[in-house]
Structure 1
């Protein structure tokens, strides 16, 4: 068997079309930039930028944008073997408006259906998924079939391999709540989130996402509810109040954000995710992992793009040193 990947992510891919003017409504924007996007994809890119071997399980359209996505994955050092094309649906595009410091409306074009929701359980390389040191999946992958069944199949395979003694570092559930993908609202999502949490070892989400998953909103109550649902580590992102992380063994870390001049807040959470994976793989103490991930997120928030903005180790370490 080949050497296991450090990180395999599963979920969204697409093309981000970002305005090259800030503080301007889309109707008035005159020029745009094209970037690789999608939360799970960005996390794989973030991990690769930090020197980790990563791959993404996803699907594109069989179109020029799909070709672009696979080309960009390779250029970022992410294995694209499981980023396969679908005949029936176009590669998604996402537009945003940029109003710093905290208003970044997103417009998803994923109709009639996004190819990344056509991931099928019988097409998964479950051996690779089970052996990866970290497997990262998202709430969006649970919103429709066949992606929902495929995502849960991957989680169950991971859990079975872990019970059999496989050397895994973490199975991460990025709560990733996108209301436009759930026509019936949070109540429809919660049972599927509950099932996924049974098989994950780490849960990551902001307060809105934690509330969807658990029904509670106070940060420490969210963390406890996630632990009660089955994970070993709950990471609750609180925006300007920083991040709270609580481990089942009683270890707790609550760290503030890194202040930066925000250009585009989109993608900061994905940089946080890739750095969280990096810290878990390195075996760092919880507080250092959170500080490092916060710094990576801050760097991306200070830049325009998502994937191409993901920082290197030296960039994150320079920001951490500057704060000391």
Structure 2
């Protein structure tokens, strides 16, 4: 696995690059953007369900300031799975870069996933975010988000209606996460509901990232939809039991054991 992004020419950027390599993620496509600092985010923890985030990304962040000549477009086109986020659409230049990436993905046989990771303080307003999501939805295979993010994308808050609206806009698989209630996943001919895991939440940060990682694993392995969502939900619950975020992500062996026993190995 690898990531296409930018970091600043600073200690935080060098730390990010080292950590990616240590955790087994290629940093070959991480670009150092000298004009901007690596962004910092602070989080408050109010378990079980409130984890406010404070982003420091002004005047901009390196990941939103990549030039077209700094992206390996062959890697974009070759990727078996290409995951991108709504945040990457929030600036004009980065939005244009993502549209070009989707041009390359149109020539790919891989799966393209949009993470509806909507952070309101990074946008001028919901209307702008919804407009840009509308421009890309028909070009992605999978869309995943929580109820609020899906409402931002399609203007529907009801989970069933939101999933249907995403499918109507061209998505092949719509996933609506509903926190402690569970997760709904729908395709044109299949509906899956998975209850949330009953855990004592320590820190909810990173749960969505773990969900996404397990979702990708299930797609790569060719699992059926129910098993994929069950494991993705379990991965999110697993991370919620830890104070850490990236370093709390389960290995395949740890996740299998957790699914079988409900106990962190």
Scaled to the shorter chain, the TM-score interval is: over 0.9
Q: Does 1:142 align with 2:89?
A: yes
Partner of 2:27: 80
- Cα contact 2:116–2:153 (8 A) shared by 1: yes
Q: What TM-score, normalized by structure 1, do the two folds share?
A: 0.79
Partner of 2:232: 293
Q: Tell me how far 1:128 sits from its aligned partner.
A: 1.1
Matches within 5 A, 1:122-201: 122-159=69-106, 161-162=107-108, 166=109, 168=110, 170-183=111-124, 185-201=125-141
User: 1:121-155 CA distances to partner (integer Å, 9 max, x unpaired)?
Assistant: 34321211111110000000000032111112111
User: Could you say what secondary structure the match of 2:82 adopts?
Assistant: strand
Question: How many angstroms apart in 1 are the aligned matches of 2:31 and 2:68?
Answer: 14
Matches within 5 A, 1:1-324: 54-159=1-106, 161-162=107-108, 166=109, 168=110, 170-183=111-124, 185-248=125-188, 250-323=189-262
User: 1:241-278 CA distances to partner (integer Å, 9 max, x unpaired)?
Assistant: 10000012x11110011111111001000000010000
Question: How many angstroms apart in 1 are the aligned matches of 2:137 and 2:69?
Answer: 22
- Cα contact 2:31–2:70 (8 A) shared by 1: no
Which structure ranks higher in relative contact order (CA pairs < 8 Å, sequence separation ≥ 6)? 1
Partner of 1:31: none
Question: How many angstroms apart in 2 are the aligned matches of 1:316 and 1:140?
Answer: 28
Question: How many angstroms apart in 2 are the aligned matches of 1:213 and 1:88?
Answer: 32
Structure 1 segments unaligned to the other structure (5+ residues) = 1-53
User: Could you say what secondary structure the match of 2:21 adopts?
Assistant: helix
The alignment covers a number of residue pairs equal to 263
Tell which deviates more after alignment, 117-126 or 279-288. Answer: 117-126
Please tell me the root mean square deviation across aligned C-alpha atoms, in Å. Answer: 1.2
- Cα contact 1:121–1:149 (8 A) shared by 2: no
Question: How many angstroms apart in 2 are the aligned matches of 1:211 and 1:145?
Answer: 22
Question: How many angstroms apart in 2 are the aligned matches of 1:231 and 1:223?
Answer: 9
Please state which structure has a larger fraction of its residues in strand. Answer: 1
Partner of 1:3: none
Question: How many angstroms apart in 2 are the aligned matches of 1:285 and 1:119?
Answer: 37
User: Could you say what secondary structure the match of 1:136 adopts?
Assistant: strand
The 4+ residue runs of structure 1 with deviation greater than 3 A are none
Q: What TM-score, normalized by structure 2, do the two folds share?
A: 0.97
Q: Tell me how far 1:98 sits from its aligned partner.
A: 1.1
Question: How many angstroms apart in 1 are the aligned matches of 2:233 and 2:239?
Answer: 10
Structure 2 segments unaligned to the other structure (5+ residues) = none
